[in-house]
Amino acid sequence: MENCIFCKVVKRELSAEIVYEDNEILAFRDINPQAPIHILIIPKKHIGSLNEIEIDDINLIGKIFIVAKNIAKQFKIDSSGYRIVLNTNFGAGQSVYHIHFHLLGGRFFRWPPG
C-alpha cells in the first residue's frame, strides 16, 4: 500500500536490518528498541491491524508465530523468555498501520504491561 512505511520496507524502498524473510513474512529490527532484542514480524501483504484480518489469513497469522519462535531461538531468548506484543489502534499504542508483531526479549518484563 502506498505511504505505508512497512510496505516500503518490504519493497526495499526503506532500509531495515532484516533478520528473516520468506515469501509471505518479513522480520526486521525495530528502529527504536524497547529491549535488547526487539524484532518486528510482519506479513508482506498489507493488513492494517488485527481488526482487518480475515479467516483466509489464518495460515499466515499462524505461521508468524512459528517464525517468532524460530527467531527467539536464533537470538537465544527462547529459554530466558520473550514477549510477543500486538498493539491494535491508538488506545493500545499502535503507530504503524500495517499489522506487526513485536518480539521482545533479553530483559525481564513486568506484568501487567503499562
Residues labelled catalytic? 100
Q: Which is nearer to ligand AMP, 29 or 63 (CB)?
A: 29
CB 113 within 8 A of CB 44: no
φ and ψ of 88, to 5 deg: -125, 110
CB 39 within 8 A of CB 28: yes
- Contact between 94 and ligand AMP by CB under 6 A: the answer reads yes
| Beta carbon of residue 34, minimum distance to ligand AMP (angstroms, whole number) | 7
Chain position carrying cell 499462524: 62
- Contact between 1 and ligand AMP by CB under 6 A: the answer reads no
Cell numbers given for 69: 519462535
Q: Where does the chain have alpha helices with state H?
A: 5-10, 58-74
Pattern of binders to ligand AMP over 52-91, x per CB under 6 A?
-----------------------------------x----
- Contact between 18 and ligand AMP by CB under 6 A: the answer reads no
